[in-house]
């Protein structure tokens, strides 16, 4: 398996199909993740980082990070990243693709000095050290069960003395 840190525009149709297949079989189903990827990648206001996993010439995984802030009283408290989506082709699930992508995203976040990565997701992310954001005093800007709104500090000082609400890029529609 090989992970590339950019997406070739010729691969966008295959990516859209893979994302739809990856989410269709989940508990929550497909909710427009492919359209979100397109909107975030085309945005001139939001910085993004793409990660594409290939195996034997087949696109088997994808992760997209986008800039975010924690805001309190209209003041930025910390800059971080949102992971949305992490998608692994059904045929490649449970073969380490997701773990490899998670390793890559965390390496890039640390390298660029981001304070945290935020995720909307389930139990899968706990193995990587993600915890309910409420444990850090961070709130979601929408209704979401506490156990699904997760965050992980990327720096040693973590999210000490940071509290507030996560502000998603406008493309999320939140």
User: Comparing C-alpha atoms, which of 134, 138, 129, 136 is closest to residue 146?
Assistant: 134
pLDDT at 100: 97
Q: How far apart are the first and last CA of the chain?
A: 35
Please tell me the number of Cα atoms within 13 Å of 51 on its side-chain side: 27
From 13-22, 90-99, 151-160, the region with the lowest mean pLDDT: 151-160
Give dist(CA 27, CA 155) in Å, integer. Answer: 32
* Cross-strand partners of 82: 66, 118
**Phi then psi dihedrals of residue 162, to 5 deg:** -110, 130
Please tell me the number of Cα atoms within 13 Å of 97 on its side-chain side: 25
> Strand ranges (DSSP E) for the chain?
2-4, 48-55, 58-72, 75-88, 116-120, 131-132, 138-139, 149-153, 164-167
- Give tens-digit pLDDT for 35-63: 999 999 988 878 899 999 999 999 999 99
When pLDDT is averaged across residues 103-125 and rounded to a whole number, the result is 95
Pair of tokens at residue 146: 């506490």
From 7-11, 47-51, 69-73, the region with the lowest mean pLDDT: 7-11
41 within 8 A of 34, measured Cβ to Cβ: no
pLDDT at 157: 81
Do the strands 48-55 and 58-72 form a parallel or antiparallel pair, or are they unpaired? antiparallel
């Amino acid at each position: 398996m090989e992970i590339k840190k950019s997406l070739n525009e010729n691969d966008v149709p295959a990516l859209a199909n893979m994302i739809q297949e990856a989410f269709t079989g989940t508990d929550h189903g497909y909710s427009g993740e492919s359209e979100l990827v397109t909107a975030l990648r085309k945005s001139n206001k939001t910085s993004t980082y793409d990660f594409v996993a290939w195996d034997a010439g087949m696109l088997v995984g994808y992760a997209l990070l986008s800039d975010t802030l924690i805001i309190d009283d209209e003041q930025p408290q910390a800059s971080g990243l949102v992971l949305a989506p992490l998608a692994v082709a059904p045929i490649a699930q449970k073969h380490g693709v997701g773990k490899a992508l998670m390793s890559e995203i965390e390496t890039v976040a640390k390298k660029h000095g981001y304070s945290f990565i935020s995720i909307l997701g389930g139990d899968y992310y706990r193995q990587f050290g993600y915890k309910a954001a409420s444990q850090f005093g961070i709130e979601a800007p929408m209704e979401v069960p506490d156990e699904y709104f997760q965050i992980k500090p990327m720096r040693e000082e973590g999210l000490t003395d940071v509290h507030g609400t996560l502000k998603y890029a406008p493309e999320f529609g939140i």
